[in-house]
């Protein structure tokens, strides 16, 4: 089946069909303590209580939780196929799933049981938090999960990627896979005019929308060539600014 992506919302919907996600929200009666900084980790346990999948907050300083509005978590913590396969022993009686959540809260915290009614756990704003989505998709390219295409550099360095993500984020890649091309037939994209570090940074931006200035400092000029050919004005502008600062 080919799933055509029309928008960012469609992209999230596609991955939600394949993975389960978990989010943490803060409820607070004290209006003076609406915001709370915390680090967090979520573990999915099997029926014997063993940790099978673990995801942790990637920031040492944690994130800000705002009571009743903004939550944080992980968009792709465990593949649904694994959960639904009895051999993996993930689901207990009545299809129950054990999830362990560990929090490190910075500052004063008072625990109190508060009854809550009609709580909307998954409002659109919370699920599309930029930082959370960027981290999730950055994890996706690094994990190699379900990759179906290889991107090869000038010297043969290979990177695993996802055809769906490349199509959604680049018109050039979209056109490449919409027609009967060599790349589509072989599931392999050769980029003979770019080195491995340049392709790595380009893919990192395609997936997460972020760049690491320290990482691309040495390849900024080549990255300009890459984005001219394959990607967006935004990445070109970022690389341009870094290149100009190097010349000053």
Q: Which 8-state DSSP code applies to residue 70?
A: B
The parent domain of residue 119 ranges over 8-129
Residue 105: Cβ within 10 Å count: 14
Whichever domain contains 193, its CATH number is 3.30.710.10
Same domain assignment for residues 124 and 173: no
Q: Domain boundary at 129, 159, 191, which?
A: 129
Inter-CA distances, 234 with 65, 141, 206, 228, Å: 29, 20, 11, 11
138 belongs to a structural domain: no
For the chain, how many structural domains are there in total? 2
Residue 140 lies in a domain: no
Res 81: pLDDT: 86
Q: What is the CATH number of the domain that holds 66?
A: 2.60.210.10
Distance CA 43, CA 97 (A): 11
Q: Which of 96, 129, 162 is the last residue of a domain?
A: 129
Residue 94 lies in a domain: yes
pLDDT of residue 235: 59
Residues 104 and 179 in one domain: no
Residue 108: exposed, middle, or buried by beta-carbon count in 10 A (0-12, 13-18, 19+)? exposed
Q: Is residue 162 part of a domain?
A: yes
16 and 123 share a domain? Answer: yes
User: Are residue 15 and residue 124 in the same domain, yes or no?
Assistant: yes
- Supply φ then ψ for residue 20, to 5 degrees: -95, 150
Among residues 67, 98, 129, the one where a domain terminates is 129
CA–CA separation, 141 vs 149, rounded Å? Answer: 12
Asked if residue 134 is part of any domain, the answer here is: no
Clarify whether residues 78 and 167 are in a common domain.
Answer: no
What's the confidence (pLDDT) of residue 146? Answer: 83
125 with 153, same domain: the answer is: no
Q: What is the pLDDT of residue 186?
A: 93
Residue 169 sits in the same domain as residue 111:
no
Chunked mean pLDDT (size 10), the chain, 248 residues: 38 61 72 76 90 84 77 78 88 89 75 58 42 64 82 90 85 87 91 85 78 64 68 59 56
Residue 3 falls inside a structural domain: no
Question: What distance, in Å, lies between the first and last C-alpha atoms of the chain?
Answer: 52
What pLDDT, on the 0 to 100 scale, is given for residue 233? 58
User: Is residue 159 a contact partner of residue 200, using CB atoms and an 8 Å limit?
Assistant: yes
Write down the pTM of the prediction: 0.44
């Amino acid at each position: 089946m080919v799933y055509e992506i029309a928008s960012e919302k469609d992209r999230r919907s596609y991955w939600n069909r394949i993975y389960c996600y978990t989010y943490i929200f803060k409820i607070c009666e004290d209006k003076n303590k609406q915001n709370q900084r915390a680090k967090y980790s979520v573990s999915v346990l099997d029926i014997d209580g063993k940790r099978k999948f673990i995801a942790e907050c990637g920031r040492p300083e944690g994130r800000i939780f705002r009571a009743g509005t903004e939550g944080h978590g992980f968009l792709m913590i465990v593949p649904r196929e694994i959960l639904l396969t009895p051999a993996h022993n993930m689901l207990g009686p009545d299809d129950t799933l054990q999830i362990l959540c560990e929090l490190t809260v910075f500052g004063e915290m008072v625990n109190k049981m508060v009854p809550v009614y009609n709580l909307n756990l998954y409002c659109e704003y919370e699920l599309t938090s930029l930082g959370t989505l960027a981290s999730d998709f950055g994890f996706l390219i690094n994990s190699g999960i379900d990759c179906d295409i290889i991107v090869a550099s000038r010297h043969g360095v290979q990177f695993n990627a996802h055809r769906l993500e490349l199509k959604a984020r680049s018109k050039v890649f979209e056109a490449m896979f919409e027609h009967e091309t060599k790349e589509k037939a072989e599931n392999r994209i050769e980029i003979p005019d770019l080195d491995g570090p340049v392709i790595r940074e380009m893919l990192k931006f395609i997936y997460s929308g972020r760049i690491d200035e320290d990482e691309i400092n040495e390849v900024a000029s080549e990255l300009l060539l890459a984005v001219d050919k394959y990607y967006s004005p935004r990445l070109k502008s970022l690389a341009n600014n870094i290149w100009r600062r190097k010349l000053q």
